[in-house]
Amino acid sequence: MAEKAQKLWGGRFTGETDPLMHLYNASLPYDYKMYKADLEGTKVYTAGLNKINLITDDELSKIHAGLDQIKSEWDDDKFVRHPSDEDIHTANERRLGEIIGRHIAGKVHTGRSRNDQVVTDMRIYCRDILNEKLLPFMADLIKVLVKRAENEIDTLMPGYTHLQRAQPIRWAHWLSSYATYFTEDYKRLKQILERLNVSPLGAGALAGHPYGIDREFLAEGLNFGGVIGNSLVAVSDRDFVVELMFWGTLFMNHISRFAEDLIIYSTAEFGFVKLSDSYSTGSSLMPQKKNADSLELLRGKSGRVFGDLAGFLMSLKGIPSTYDKDMQEDKESLFDALVTVEHSILIATGVISTLTVVKERMSDALTMDMLATDLADYLVRKGVPFRETHHISGECVAAAEREKLSGIDKLTLEQYQEIDKRFEQDLFETFDFEKSVERRTATGGTAKSAVLKQLASLVSQL
C-alpha cells in the first residue's frame, strides 16, 4: 500500500486542511516553472550536507540520481503531480521519496527551510531568465535597430515636438533614439543581475544554519557571486523582485512610446511606414482595414507590467521582518511580468525588422517652415544675437503666411530685406533639408557622422 504523502510542515497539525485552504495556499500551478532551479539547489545543498558528514557518499549518490530522474520527468512533461503537492519544493521532495525511499529523501531538508529554499530557487530562476532570454533578446532588438539605421541613414523625416513638425532629422536618428533607451535598459538589467546573484541558501528559516554548513561552498556550487551576510535578510529580501519588475515597467514604458510613434507613423495620414502582414490584423467588418495590433498590444501591455509591480509593492510594504506568507504573491506577478516583457521584446524586434519605410512620404512631409530655426542660425553666423534672430525669423514666417506662400523660401530677397537689412542672397542656401541635418554635427546630433557615432557607441556597449 502506498505511503500517505506528508506535508513538509506536518506533525504538529492533527486536523485535515480545508480543501479550499489547500487551493488558496498552493503555488505549484505557477511555481512549477522553477523545477530546474529547485533540483539544482537541492543537489548542491545535499553536497554541502555531505561535506559536513550529515549525508553519506552512498546516500548522496542515490539522492543525485533521484533528482536527475525527477528532472527528466519534468523535462519530458511526465511528472505526475499529487493532490498534496503544495509547491514545487513539496512535489520534488515527495517524488524523491517515492524513487529512493523516504528515509534517505527525508535527509535533504536537514537544516534547510522553505524560507531559504524558495528564495534560492527564485534567484536562480531569475538569473537564468536574464542570461538565457532577456539580455540576449534585448541585444538582438538593439542590433536590429542599429542595423536598420545604418542601412537607411540617408532617409530624412520630420522630427516632432508636441506632435508638431519641428526640425528635419534622419530616420536613423529616430531609430538611434530608441536604441539608446533600450541600451540603457540593457545596462540596468546587467546591474540588477549582479545584485540578485547572491545566495540566501543556508540561512535556515531565519536564524541561520544549525550544523555549520559552508554557505560559501553552496554559493560557489550554484554560481552565485557571494552570500547574503544576514540570515534575516536572506530569507525575506525581495528587493530583487521589485527591481526586476521596476525594470520591466520602465522598459515597457519605453516600448510603449516606441509603439505609439510607429502607430502614428503607420496611419494613412502620415504613411511613413507600413507594417508587415505578420504583425497586423484586419477588421471583422471593414475589409480595407489593416490594424497595427502588434503595436497597440505593446502599448497596452505596458500597463499590465506596471500593475504587476504596483500590486506586489502593496503586498510587500506592510509585512513584518523575515518571511511571511504574503511573499508568495511575488511569483505570479514576477512570472507574468517576465513573460510579458520577453514576448514584448520579441514582438518589437519582429515589427522593426519587417516594416517598410515609405521614404517618399517622409520626404513629402518636410516643409520649409521647419527650417525657420536654420534661418535664425543664418543671422547668428553673421553676428546677430540669437534672441534677436529668433524674433526676425518669426516675422519671416508670419510674412509668408500673410502672402499665402507655400513656404518661407518663396519670399523674395527684397521682402527679406524689408524685415532685416542683414539678409543677403546667400540666405537661400539655408533652404536645404540635407544641409540642415548636416549642420548638426555635435555629439548626439542628426548629421550623418553624428548618427554613425551614436550607433557605433551603442553596439560597443552590448
DSSP code per residue over 222-274: TT-S-B-S-HHHHHH--HHHHHHHHHHHHHHHHHHHHHHHHHHHHSTTT-SEE
The gap from C-alpha 203 to its chain's centroid, in whole angstroms, comes to: 31
Residue where a domain terminates, one of 324, 343, 364 = 364
Tell me what pLDDT residue 419 has: 96
**Residues 377, 347: one domain?**
no
Tell me what pLDDT residue 118 has: 96
CA–CA–CA angle 131, 135, 136 (5° rounding): 95
**Residues 271, 398: one domain?**
no
The residue from 162, 278, 284, 460 that is catalytic is 162
162 catalytic per annotation: yes
For the stretch 105-116, pLDDT in tens is 999 999 999 999
Would you state the cell numbers that stand for residue 196, as one nine-digit string?
A: 540578485
- How far apart (Å, rounded) are the C-alpha atoms in residues 67 and 153? 55
Q: Cβ contacts of residue 124 below 8 Å, gap of 6+? A: 34, 37, 40, 41, 222
Band (pLDDT 50/70/90 cuts) for residue 283 is low
Cβ–Cβ under 8 Å, residues 455 and 179: yes
Would you state the cell numbers that stand for residue 40, as one nine-digit string?
A: 539544482
First-last CA distance in the chain: 58
**Residues 230, 317: one domain?**
yes
Band (pLDDT 50/70/90 cuts) for residue 340 is very high
Cβ–Cβ under 8 Å, residues 400 and 407: yes
Alpha-carbon Rg of the chain, whole angstroms? 31
- How far apart (Å, rounded) are the C-alpha atoms in residues 173 and 450? 9
- How far apart (Å, rounded) are the C-alpha atoms in residues 260 and 263? 5
**Residues 276, 414: one domain?**
no
Q: What is the DSSP letter of 111?
A: T
205 vs 281 pLDDT, higher one: 205
Tell me what pLDDT residue 3 has: 46
**Residues 336, 282: one domain?**
yes
Mean pLDDT of 357-365: 97
**Residues 382, 337: one domain?**
no
Q: In 10 A of CB 26, how many CB atoms?
A: 17
Q: In 10 A of CB 316, how many CB atoms?
A: 18
412 belongs to a structural domain:
yes
Would you state the cell numbers that stand for residue 346, as one nine-digit string?
A: 520579441
**Residues 360, 379: one domain?**
no
52 belongs to a structural domain:
yes
For the stretch 342-359, pLDDT in tens is 999 999 999 999 999 999
Half-sphere exposure of 410 (CA within 13 A, CB side): 14
Q: In 10 A of CB 335, how many CB atoms?
A: 19
Least confident residue range of 22-31, 151-160, 271-280, 426-435: 22-31
- How far apart (Å, rounded) are the C-alpha atoms in residues 293 and 291? 5
pLDDT higher than 80, residue 23: no
Sign (positive/negative) of CA torsion 38, 42, 43, 44? positive
pLDDT higher than 90, residue 200: yes
**Residues 127, 187: one domain?**
yes
- How far apart (Å, rounded) are the C-alpha atoms in residues 114 and 121? 10
Find the CATH number of the domain harbouring 94: 1.10.275.10
5 belongs to a structural domain:
no
Find the CATH number of the domain harbouring 237: 1.20.200.10
Q: Cβ contacts of residue 32 below 8 Å, gap of 6+? A: 74, 88, 91
- How far apart (Å, rounded) are the C-alpha atoms in residues 48 and 41? 11
Residue where a domain terminates, one of 364, 398, 430 = 364
For the stretch 244-277, pLDDT in tens is 999 999 999 999 999 999 999 999 999 999 999 9
- How far apart (Å, rounded) are the C-alpha atoms in residues 335 and 324? 19
Sign (positive/negative) of CA torsion 426, 431, 432, 436? positive
Q: Cβ contacts of residue 311 below 8 Å, gap of 6+? A: 329, 333
Tell me what pLDDT residue 243 has: 97
Least confident residue range of 25-29, 137-141, 207-211, 304-308: 25-29
Tell me what pLDDT residue 2 has: 43
**Residues 65, 201: one domain?**
no
Place of cell 535556515: 204
Residue where a domain terminates, one of 364, 382, 404 = 364
389 belongs to a structural domain:
yes
Band (pLDDT 50/70/90 cuts) for residue 77 is very high
- How far apart (Å, rounded) are the C-alpha atoms in residues 144 and 167? 26
Mean pLDDT of 159-165: 96
Structural domains counted in the chain: 3
Find the CATH number of the domain harbouring 374: 1.10.40.30
The residue from 61, 72, 276, 283 that is catalytic is 283
**Residues 168, 308: one domain?**
yes
**Residues 205, 256: one domain?**
yes
11 belongs to a structural domain:
no
- How far apart (Å, rounded) are the C-alpha atoms in residues 246 and 240? 10
The gap from C-alpha 315 to its chain's centroid, in whole angstroms, comes to: 22
At 278, give phi and psi (nearest 5°). Answer: -65, -20
Classified as helix, coil or strand, 161 is strand
Tell me what pLDDT residue 108 has: 97
Band (pLDDT 50/70/90 cuts) for residue 290 is confident
Residue 426 CA: distances (Å) to CA of 14, 430, 434: 96, 8, 16
- How far apart (Å, rounded) are the C-alpha atoms in residues 209 and 159? 61
5 vs 173 pLDDT, higher one: 173
110 belongs to a structural domain:
no
- How far apart (Å, rounded) are the C-alpha atoms in residues 372 and 232? 63
The mean pLDDT of the chain is 93
Enter the pTM of the model.
Answer: 0.91
Tell me what pLDDT residue 18 has: 75
22 belongs to a structural domain:
no
Band (pLDDT 50/70/90 cuts) for residue 221 is very high
pLDDT higher than 80, residue 227: yes
- How far apart (Å, rounded) are the C-alpha atoms in residues 231 and 201? 9
For the stretch 373-384, pLDDT in tens is 999 999 999 999
**Residues 233, 379: one domain?**
no
Band (pLDDT 50/70/90 cuts) for residue 282 is low
- How far apart (Å, rounded) are the C-alpha atoms in residues 43 and 367? 67
Helix axes of 114-129 and 35-51: crossing angle, nearest 10 degrees: 120
- Give the domain range for residue 57: 27-105
Tell me what pLDDT residue 287 has: 61
3 belongs to a structural domain:
no
